A and B are shown apart, each in its own frame.
Chain A
Amino acid sequence: MLEARELVKRFGEREALRGVDFEAAAGELVAVIGPNGAGKTTLLSILAGISAVDGGEVHVPEGEVGWVPQQAALYRRLTVEENLLLFARLERHPDPHASAAEMLELTGLADRREEIVARLSGGNQQRINIAIGLLARPSVLLLDEPSVGLDPRQRARLWEFVSGLVSEAGTTVIFSTHDIQEAERYGGRLLVLADGEALFDGSPDELREAVRREAREAADQDFETAFVAFLHHRGH
């Protein structure tokens, strides 16, 4: 179980996170949603161990926490395979070539292994980005807006891949997104953040129920409109 209690993060005078509580069980797929500046990336970077907290505490389960940043963190002048090999070696895999080959198969990029990453589409770069995050075989995978810049077909393929990790490997996946429909469709649970506060934590159906209770006029609207009405009702 991954747990975060009373998380506080400040950037100068601004509080990016204000006492956020959060937890995720093994095999859960959690979407973190909210408007710009809500604190989504900050929360993920704290869970990833990149940023230190100013208050509160984080408990991560045994095993690695994989982190896939929003912007692809890889070397564009290296080939697909060279990137995977480099990180496999840095992760001290006993057989880096085998690990790289496995990730090439997983991402469907085996036939493009020799290509320089800079020549690949944004979607394919994102697939390598995720593959690098998976190299450590993490028990928890953090994805920061993983589908940004992907076309619908690439997006579908990405979520098929991520869902497989959850269902087949029991990996806990926590992802942030601006796409509310995507969060509803793929997120088993939603954490709604706004201005550094956690406004809601529950399933998409529970969020609709909350909208029905608090913003009745938007209850029958599409999920995104209902979500915006919910935020508005909560003063954001």
Chain B
Amino acid sequence: MRWLLLKDLQILRRSPLQSTLLVAWPVSIAILVGLAISGTPDKPRVALLNEVPGDARVTVGTRQLPRIGVEERICARVECLLVESRGEADEAVRSGDALAALVLPADLVDRINSLSTPSPTTPQVEVIVNEEDPVRARLVNDRIDALLAQANLVIGRRIASEGGRFLGLVLDGGEIEVLGQTVEILGLRRAARILERVRSRLPAGELRDSVDTGIRFTKLARDNLDTAVPLLRRLSQPIAVEKRVVEGASPPLESFAIAVAATFTLAFVVVLLVAGSLALEREENAFPRLTRGLVSPAGLLGEKVALGAAVGLVVTLLMLAGLAFFVPLHWSRFGLWLVAILAGAGALGAAGAALGAAAREVRAVSLLAFMVTLPVALLSLVPSGAVGVAADDAIGVVTALFPFKPALRAMTGALDPAGPGLGPALLHLAALAGAYGLLARVALRRFGSV
């Protein structure tokens, strides 16, 4: 087997395009993923045109709320690109400088204030987006929805807080500023105390009965308004969230992204190399000569899988080493990396051998390898529960039948201590390696024929 392995490596060395691709692929993937992980801005860039006058205040009743600081709040959540006009905002979005533009019109606060008047108008903000790219459009919509929800929440809290303060005044009394004048509010409690004092000095009769009715009303009003205060507070955030993790902890997104990049690299290199080099034996007419007693078909398959595993290991490690320049890796887990890469390469190599034996011609094999590997790899990245039940089940079956997903799980587990356990993934890979090895062996029966 070692002489065949040497021969395949010699052939690989003599194919400059293939060799260059094998080196260029992991290096470029490492650089792209590294840049994506390390250089992604935490906040999306949004052009902001704030036309609201600086002294505009939201008012509740006759009282002006303190300045909310909408611009500061927005700019705390997104990277603001402050613009002076709608034309500038349009251009920023069109050119891609900003993901979207948010225009706070001059009448925004007036419209908010009109909500507490008999003729309310709906406050509106203007969002300018470029929907040329549907994924980008979806991202922008989600961000804008989140921003608006935040803004509504802030305003709701302020209104609830002010409402609570007014209720407090009604209940307990106090002072309030109205048109620059301080007005004393009596409050229900104090009114009740006054009434009780008056009552004690009144003789029994019609007048005392009337005062009793007044006292009962103030008590009833107090009790009911007391329950309204906490209700008003809850109104700003009616539902609280308590998060409970039922299984494990997910690895950081960076680790998952590295595992995805490494598994993509491993899958494409191993599947294409094994399938292609097996098909090459047929194209060179060497298969019948080799299997006439020089090497068994199973031995030839083993050699191809070993070739794929060896090259896949080197290329994947090269990619991980490249990534280490951008993000810190757990080098202490290097042994587990090797186990995950070799197990993944074994199963992927067996799948490549089955494809190579089935398609038989190098060009057809390359096409088939891409047609199988790419969609399965992409489907493997669809989170469970993100699609309908039937689609979820179908994706689960398809991705379980190809070694990409278990290889990804093994890689994630090997790269990060918070990743999934290696054991089940390795067992899955072993089962797939056996099954694809068997399929490849069966397909080799017709390999030599035309």
Q: Kindly specify which of A70-78, A194-202, A213-221 makes contact with the partner chain.
A: A70-78
Which of A72-131 touch B at CB < 8 Å? Answer: 72-78, 82, 86-87, 89-91, 116
- What are the 8 tightest A-B residue pairs by CB atom distance, in nearest-first order? A73-B285, A90-B294, A73-B289, A89-B3, A77-B14, A77-B11, A71-B285, A50-B288
Q: How far is the CA of A91 from the CA of B285 in the complex (A)?
A: 18
Q: Which of A67, A74, A91 is within 8 Å of B286, CB to CB? A: A74
- Enumerate chain B residues within 8 angstroms of A72, measured Cβ to Cβ: 285
Given contacts A77-B14, A82-B7, A82-B10, 4 further A-B contacts (CB under 8 A): A67-B289, A75-B284, A78-B10, A90-B4
CB neighbours of B290 from chain A (8 A): 90
Is B67 located at the chain interface by the 8 A CB criterion?
A: no
Residue in chain B with minimal CB distance to A67: B292
Interface string of B269-307 (1 = CB under 8 A from A): 000000000000000111011101111000000000000
A89 to B2: give the CA distance in the assembly, Å.
Answer: 10
Q: Is A132 an interface residue (CB 8 A)?
A: yes
The chain B residue sitting closest to A50, CB to CB, is: B288
> A39 → chain B, closest Cβ, in Å?
15
B150 interface residue (CB < 8 Å to A)? no
Please pick, from A48, A67, A74, A116, the residue contacting B284 in the complex, using a CB distance under 8 A.
A74
Interface core residue of B11, B15, B288 (most chain A CB under 10 Å):
B288
Query: Can you name 29 A-B residue pairings with CB atoms under 8 Å?
Result: A48-B292, A49-B292, A49-B293, A50-B288, A67-B289, A67-B292, A69-B289, A71-B285, A72-B285, A73-B285, A73-B286, A73-B289, A74-B286, A75-B7, A75-B284, A75-B286, A76-B284, A77-B10, A77-B11, A78-B7, A78-B11, A78-B14, A82-B10, A86-B3, A86-B6, A86-B7, A90-B3, A90-B295, A116-B14
Residues of A within 8 A of B4 (CB): 86, 90
A73 near B288: Cβ-Cβ < 8 Å? yes
Interface residues on A, range: 20 to 34
**Cα of A74 to Cα of B11 in the assembled complex, Å:** 12
Residues of A in contact with B (beta carbons under 8 Å apart): 45, 48-50, 67, 69, 71-78, 82, 86-87, 89-91, 116, 132
Given contacts A73-B284, A75-B11, A78-B10, is CB(A91)–CB(B289) below 8 Å?
Answer: no
Which B-chain residue is minimally distant from A78 (CB atoms)? B10
- Please give, as numbers and ranges, the residues of chain A lying within 8 Å of B286 by CB-CB distance: 73-75
Asked if B123 is at the interface (CB within 8 A of a chain A CB), the reply is: no
Taking CB atoms, residues of chain A closer than 8 Å to B11 are 75, 77-78
For the complex formed, measure the closest distance between the CB of A93 and the CB atoms of chain B, giving whole angstroms: 11
The residue in chain B whose Cβ has the minimal distance to the Cβ of A91 is B294
Q: How many A-B residue pairs have CB under 8 A?
A: 53
Give Cα A193 to B293, complex, Å: 28
Rounded to whole angstroms, the CA-CA distance of A50 and B448 in the bound complex is: 9
A69 to chain B: closest residue by CB? B285
Q: How far is the CB of B333 from chain A (nearest CB, A)?
A: 39
Known: A50-B288, A73-B285, A78-B7. A87 touches B14 (CB 8 A): no
Residue in chain A with minimal CB distance to B6: A86
The smallest beta-carbon distance between B383 and chain A, in angstroms, is: 44
Considering the chains assembled together, what is the distance between the CA atoms of A75 and B289 in angstroms?
Answer: 12
Residue of A nearest to B448 (CB): A50
A76 to B294, CA, bound (A): 19
Residues of A within 8 A of B293 (CB): 49
CA distance A196 to B21 in the complex (A): 49
| Cα-based distance from A48 to B448 in the complex (angstroms) | 14
State how many angstroms separate the Cβ of A11 from the closest Cβ of chain B. 9
**Complex alpha-carbon distance, A72 and B289, angstroms:** 10
> From B295, which residue of chain A is reached at the shortest CB distance?
A90
Give the distance to chain B from A64, nearest Cβ to Cβ, in Å. Answer: 8
Name the residue on A nearest B290 (C-beta): A90
A106 to B290, CA, bound (A): 22
CB-nearest residue of chain A to B288:
A50
Give A74 to B7 CA distance when docked, in angstroms: 11
A48, A76, A86 pick with most chain B CB within 10 angstroms: A86
> Which residues from 309 to 353 on chain B have a C-beta closer than 8 Å to any C-beta of chain A?
none
CA distance A119 to B289 in the complex (A): 22
> Interface readout for B1-34 with A: 1 if CB under 8 Å, 0 if not?
0011011001100110000000000000000000
Residue of A nearest to B286 (CB): A73
Which of A45, A69, A74, A77 has its CB near the most chain B CB atoms (within 10 A)?
Answer: A77
Whole-angstrom CA separation of A15 from B284 in the bound complex = 28
